[in-house]
A and B are shown apart, each in its own frame.
Chain A
Amino acid sequence: MKRLLVVMFVAFALVLSASAFAIDPLPFQSTAQRDRFQHLTRELRCMVCQDESLLSSNADFAKQLRRQIFDMMQQGKSDKEIKDWLVARYSSFILYDPPLAPSTIALWFGTPAILLAGGIVVIVLLRRRTRPAGAIADEPGDDW
């Protein structure tokens, strides 16, 4: 029974690790370089399967770009240089972390703006409610 549990656990762990990222036989020079590669490709969109990162996708497109990114890392290119190279070809849509630009203003500030507006409404309502009891009695009922 214990053995079976161990086998099941190992199988489960293998399935998890296999789905966590697509495996290419890329010859990294160090674990640090591999970590950097995984961190970078996790932030990049696979353009053909848009809800997957370049790291996790098994699409041909993602494999090819992983290879290109790997090659650029071997040439000593920085993360920023690699991202700029990709953005020049595929637009900033390839970045999961969108840069602040005119087209992304609503994305960056929309949520805080709505939160702020909601907060103001709540404060105004609370202020009204905490007026003296006499003042409230004079008003028609606040019935919503």
Chain B
Amino acid sequence: MNEVARKSLGRFVPLIVFAALVAFFVIGLVWNQTHDARFVPSPLIDKPAPAFRLPRLEQPTQFVTKADLLGKPYLINVFASWCFACGDEHPTLMAYRDKFGIPLIGYDYKDAPQDARAWLDRHGDPYHEVLTDQSGDTAINFGVYGAPETYLIDAKGVIRYKHIGPLTPDVIAKELEPKIRALEQAGT
């Protein structure tokens, strides 16, 4: 390359640098549009679910433990009567509760039992079983930091999938259902 050509290329350097900055800016904008920074991937995926012992909403003197639920896959849906987004999610759960093919267990998070009962009476109860965690201490072991959150736990008690935020038909079709079917095929 001769000197003159090199010089004329050199004058494009600021333009190239500027284009690179614009590219970073656009990538950042698009990333923020498609990714919600509130949804942090859980480090608990493919790890055993924490042990728990939680009272039933309907019979608070009866406790359900992780060991009681081993043997078949199940879903845990963290909700609360105070949780606004749970109301958005609720119709989806009502529509899909029998289509999942596995039990849907409600996890009433930091809620007064009477409030949870009233909420389920008013909107309908999509759950096969509801457990209550009034203090929220067990929820910390699950890495819960907002509601709604949904966990898929396999027959061996391992967390296979977690969704933060309301489940939608789209999320169920694209992410949750394939995971459930995969568990069924693997027989775990």
> What is the interface of chain A, defined by CB distance below 8 A to chain B?
47-48, 50, 60-61, 64-65, 68, 87-91, 93, 121, 139-140, 142-144
Contacts and interface: CB of A to CB of B under 8 A. Distances in A.
Contacts of A140: 4, 7
A89 B110 contact: no
Contacts of B30: none
B136 interface: yes
B151 to A, nearest CB: 13
Residue with the highest number of chain B CB atoms closer than 10 Å, among A48, A68, A88: A88
Contacts of B4: 140
Contacts of B11: 143-144
Nearest to B145: A47
Contact of B140 (A64, A87, A139, A144): A64
Interface of B: 3-4, 7, 10-11, 13-14, 37-38, 40-44, 110, 136-137, 140-143, 145-146
27 contacts: A47-B146, A48-B38, A48-B145, A50-B38, A61-B145, A61-B146, A64-B140, A65-B140, A68-B137, A68-B140, A87-B43, A88-B44, A89-B44, A89-B140, A89-B142, A89-B143, A90-B40, A90-B145, A91-B40, A91-B41, A91-B143, A93-B40, A121-B13, A139-B3, A139-B7, A140-B7, A144-B14
A118 to B, nearest CB: 9
Interface of B is mostly: loop
Given A64-B140, A65-B140, A143-B11, A47 B40 contact: yes
Nearest to B82: A60
